[in-house]
Structure 1
Amino acid sequence: MPDVKINAKLFAILGTFFLLVAVVYAIWTRGTEWVGIPALFALAAMQYMIAYYLRLVDKEYKTGVDDQEDGEIAEYAGTYARFAPWSWWPLGLGVSCAILFIGVAVDWWIFIIGLFLGLFFVTGWVFEYSKGQHKH
């Protein structure tokens, strides 16, 4: 069973390590490198944020069947999500994402087309259960 306190300590140690690395790197480059220094400080901050979050949720942490060493697979079975049957919206969203990335590489007007297509397909996917055959 994973212990949340151990995980929080691990992330705090990692945050301290990355903070020390960031300070050493800033001294080593004499503060002239403006990509790595903020990235290392941001990495340390993220480690500390995860450690802080794990400490906050320590009291509410509930162990599930997957956390038990003697848990059975049959106990873990169940419905994970609800998916729309025969939905074409995700395919259109994937095509619009491809157009978006092509637009980033080629020109801005292709990006705008992909953006509007993406908004259309996301809206259609979100409201798929609101009208039509699968309305409820």
Structure 2
Amino acid sequence: MKAEKWVFWFIFLFFLVVTPVYYFMSREIAGTFVLGFTGLLGGMIAGYLTLTARSFDPRPEDRPDAEVYEAAGNVGFFAPKSMWPFWCALVVAVLALGPAMHQAWITLVGVGIGIWALSGWVLEFYRGDYKH
């Protein structure tokens, strides 16, 4: 958690300095609030990481005496091949095409194809070669 903690403390301090500079240079209140709340969000996350990092053992990345093999492990399961991300991307394109061409029926076709494509992607490991 050390690296993450310091990244968010940097974000907090950066926006703590940038917010008043932005206000005095632009006299614009909306951007000032956005920058200020971005800094507060960074500070909130940094404080959370600082407090919770004390309550559990450090990861191998945080220990100077750690070996490389200690950080190795099971990352997760990834689909070996799948056609469904392609169809979902095509659905997003069709959904964007409807409003761009002012044609509601194109969007409705995209919704219909989207139900099929998203169902296929979610349920791809319940049938076929990679059934669990």
TM-score category (smaller protein)? 0.5 to 0.7
How far is the alpha carbon of 1:63 from its aligned partner?
A: 1.4
Stretch of structure 1 that moved more, 104-113 or 47-56: 104-113
For 1:13 and 1:65, the matched residues in 2 are separated by 19
The corresponding residue for 1:135 is: 131
Answering whether residue 27 of structure 2 is matched by residue 30 of structure 1, we say: yes
Which residue does 2:8 correspond to in 1?
11
Structure 1: runs of 5+ lacking an equivalent: none
In structure 2, the residue matched to 1:99 is 94
Native 8 Å contact 1:100 1:115 kept in 2: yes
Find the counterpart in structure 2 of residue 83 from structure 1: 78
Secondary structure in structure 2 of the residue aligned to 1:57? helix
Match of 2:37 in 1: 42
8 Å Cα contact 1:22-1:40 kept in structure 2: yes
- Return the offset for 1:130: 2.5
Give the alignment's TM-score, normalised by structure 2: 0.64
Task: Give identity over the alignment, percent.
Answer: 29
State the superposition RMSD in angstroms.
3.6
**AA aligned opposite 2:127:** K
Matched residues, number: 130
Contact preservation (8 Å) 1:65, 1:71: no
Of 43, 47, 55, the residue aligned with 1:52 is 47
In structure 1, which of residues 111, 117, 120 is the aligned counterpart of residue 116 of structure 2? 120
SS of the residue corresponding to residue 93 of structure 1 reads helix
Q: Aligned ranges for residues 68-79 of structure 1 at < 5 Å?
A: 71-72=67-68, 76=72, 79=74
Q: TM-score, normalised by structure 1?
A: 0.63
